[in-house]
Amino acid sequence: MSTQQDFRQQPPPPLPARHLQLPSATEARLSNGLAVVIVEDRRLPLVSYRLSFRTGDAHDPPELPGLTEMLTGLLTEGTESLSSREIADEIARMGATLSAGANSDYSTVAASSLSRFGDQVLELLADVTLRPSFPENEVALARQNTKESLRQQRAQPSFLATEMVSRCMFGQHPYSVIAPTPESLDATSRDRLIEFHRSQFVPNNAVFIIVGDVHAESVLKRIERLFGQWEPAGTVADDFPAPPAHTSRSARIVDRPGSAQSNIVIANLGITRMNPDYFPMLLMHTVLGANASSRLFMNLREDKGYTYGAYSNLDARRSAGTFRASAEVRTPVTGDSLKEFFYELERIRSQPVSQKEITDAKAFLTGVFPIRLETQEGLIDQLVQIRMFGLPENYLDTYRDKVQAVTVEQIREVAERYVKPDQATIVIVGDGIQIEEQIAPYTDDVTFFNTAGKPKSRPSLTPKNVVRAPQNIVGNWQLEIQTPLGQTIPATLILEEAETGLTGRVESEMGDADLLTVNLDGQSLAATLAFDMGAGETVEAQISGELSGEQIQGSIILQNSPPLTFTGSKQ
């Protein structure tokens, strides 16, 4: 056994590297400006299509956020000759897929099938792209369904974090808006959809990429037949306001009372996708926080145990970008986590990375490169990005060389240029009252928001800031609490004046609770409830209410639960 032990003691060296044959493409351009890229791949009888347009969410009219999103979703819901159902049935009959979607910078109509159905799928793709009918009932359904998902999203901390980060980092730039509102949805009319489609979804604004079991010449002929009559239209160059510069550190807290975790994002403005600093940034990001052997993970998770995972994010888009570090940490270690984040951000900008780190990062990036090109989907998505961001056509051929060419000094330079802890924006979605003090050492510039995105007062007040409570507030309030099931629970809210400000209790069938840290802001009441469970244990909840004369209405939020609304009146 001892010889066996010897060779097992070390990881084995790699075998000789094997060559990656990158696909070659046939390129063409129709007379109407449509660029076509065809990659023949006859490994399997499959074909994939992507028709992408340089129009994305950032091009939404300012008063209609979500227009592009809704438009792309509706393309497959009806054309001049086919209903939504007919399209769905036709695609399913072929065992194929056809869909459309959008991101910040571009939209894509995507289809795939066995190659034997390739022509039919192509015809359908042409139909939904060129002749969508936006049926009124489908538009109404899309509005309704989007409103539903907006409601779900507002319950998700990651959505709230992204929303706040986008607002803070992008300012007047359209990347700042990540979701429609119910009002904007109502205003998104069929006419606007049609008009936007006519003006934006034009051939000179598009690239058509085909990968699969096809013959370039014949598929090009088919494309000419199907798309040749498509009229080009003038396009306007992007002219977006620059994102705001930040000159000092700030914190924007989305208060989610009772949250067991703090969703932390620390962001600085970054680069666009086409910026020459891209590859050094990519390496810097890989060392700092791309995966589980990166610095942020090893520190905040492996060493400190604060979180399930801490990472960085190189958010580089067509006209602007950010560089972020983020993690979801347990509420009590929010401040400690900030300490470690800033330690790592300082470190990467002030000290060169080690030789091992840069070597490992290069190995990771060059190693996963072929894995991501295994499938037609992987390859075609890369080709879409290359075209939509205007990257060099030989991007895939030179990618690994560019990764290898980055130096330790280049990494430090871009870290110094873009990683700016003193000017960073800290966004935290978490339990405001628990984290307020934890954040204080890191910045004075702290603003709180509720989950609807509206500013609110600080969760707690120090005693000297307490305003004497108006008399109409002190006393007993009879409440009726509604559960989501429609039950009504009676309760009594007792508010009393004390030296340190308002205090009181809630008494109900659910239990009795003392009011802690009562905050009164005009007629808005907010407090923590501490339910006494006996044996020295308490369970906390948040109560907030609006007072109006002798009436009160508000909600009680137990940890990780939907709010219980209540109404009540003074006894």
For another protein, give the closer residue by CB, 125 or 253. Answer: 125
Minimum CB separation from another protein for residue 466, in Å?
Answer: 27
CA distances from 287 to 7, 24, 278, 408 (A): 30, 32, 14, 11
Tokens of 102: 């959008």
For another protein, give the closer residue by CB, 87 or 547. Answer: 87
Minimum CB separation from another protein for residue 467, in Å?
Answer: 32
Q: Which residues of 421-442 are buried (b: 16+ CB within 10 A; e: fewer)?
A: beebbbbbbbbbbbbbebbeeb
Minimum CB separation from another protein for residue 247, in Å?
Answer: 26
Establish if 116 lies at the interface with another protein (CB under 8 A).
Answer: yes
Establish if 111 lies at the interface with another protein (CB under 8 A).
Answer: yes
Of 233-241, 382-390, 467-475, 519-527, which segment contacts another protein by CB under 8 A?
A: 382-390
**8 A C-beta contact, residue 245 and residue 171:** no
Minimum CB separation from another protein for residue 67, in Å?
Answer: 16
For another protein, give the closer residue by CB, 363 or 440. Answer: 363
Place of tokens 């907010």: 526
Q: Which residues contact 89 (CB under 8 A, 6 or more apart)?
A: none
Establish if 51 lies at the interface with another protein (CB under 8 A).
Answer: no
Helices (H), 450-507: none
Establish if 173 lies at the interface with another protein (CB under 8 A).
Answer: no
Establish if 452 lies at the interface with another protein (CB under 8 A).
Answer: no
The phi, psi pair for 474, rounded to 5°, reads: -70, 140
Cα separation, 442 vs 513, whole angstroms: 33
Binding to another protein, residues 542-561 (CB under 8 A) = 558-561
Minimum CB separation from another protein for residue 197, in Å?
Answer: 17
Query: At 382, is the secondary structure helix, strand, or coil?
Result: helix
Establish if 158 lies at the interface with another protein (CB under 8 A).
Answer: yes
For another protein, give the closer residue by CB, 157 or 432. Answer: 157
Binding to another protein, residues 403-432 (CB under 8 A) = none
**8 A C-beta contact, residue 190 and residue 136:** yes
Instruction: Select the residue interacting with another protein from 188, 313, 434, 528 (CB under 8 A).
Output: 313
Binding to another protein, residues 271-300 (CB under 8 A) = 273, 282, 286, 290-293, 297
Minimum CB separation from another protein for residue 472, in Å?
Answer: 29
Looking at residue 5, its amino acid is: Q
Establish if 306 lies at the interface with another protein (CB under 8 A).
Answer: yes
Instruction: Select the residue interacting with another protein from 29, 131, 144, 186 (CB under 8 A).
Output: 144
Q: What is the DSSP letter of 72?
A: H
Q: Which residues contact 34 (CB under 8 A, 6 or more apart)?
A: 203, 204, 206, 207, 208, 223, 227, 230
Establish if 8 lies at the interface with another protein (CB under 8 A).
Answer: yes
What is the length of the chain? 571
**8 A C-beta contact, residue 315 and residue 321:** yes
Instruction: Select the residue interacting with another protein from 32, 61, 119, 448 (CB under 8 A).
Output: 119
Establish if 399 lies at the interface with another protein (CB under 8 A).
Answer: yes
Binding to another protein, residues 238-267 (CB under 8 A) = 260
**8 A C-beta contact, residue 545 and residue 553:** yes
End-to-end CA separation in angstroms for the chain? 85
Minimum CB separation from another protein for residue 167, in Å?
Answer: 15
Looking at residue 264, its amino acid is: I
Binding to another protein, residues 78-107 (CB under 8 A) = 81-82, 84-86, 88-97, 99-106
Tell me which H or E stretch contains 6. helix 2-8
The phi, psi pair for 244, rounded to 5°, reads: -70, 150
Handedness of CA 166, 168, 169, 172 (dihedral sign): positive
Of 239-247, 362-370, 421-429, 440-448, which segment contacts another protein by CB under 8 A?
A: 362-370
The phi, psi pair for 324, rounded to 5°, reads: -130, 155
Considering CB under 8 A, how many residues would be counted as binding another protein?
Answer: 139
Instruction: Select the residue interacting with another protein from 216, 466, 494, 539 (CB under 8 A).
Output: 539
Establish if 309 lies at the interface with another protein (CB under 8 A).
Answer: yes
Minimum CB separation from another protein for residue 435, in Å?
Answer: 15
CA distances from 93 to 50, 86, 88, 113, 214 (A): 21, 10, 8, 11, 21
Of 246-254, 459-467, 483-491, 519-527, which segment contacts another protein by CB under 8 A?
A: 483-491
Binding to another protein, residues 174-193 (CB under 8 A) = 178
Establish if 498 lies at the interface with another protein (CB under 8 A).
Answer: no
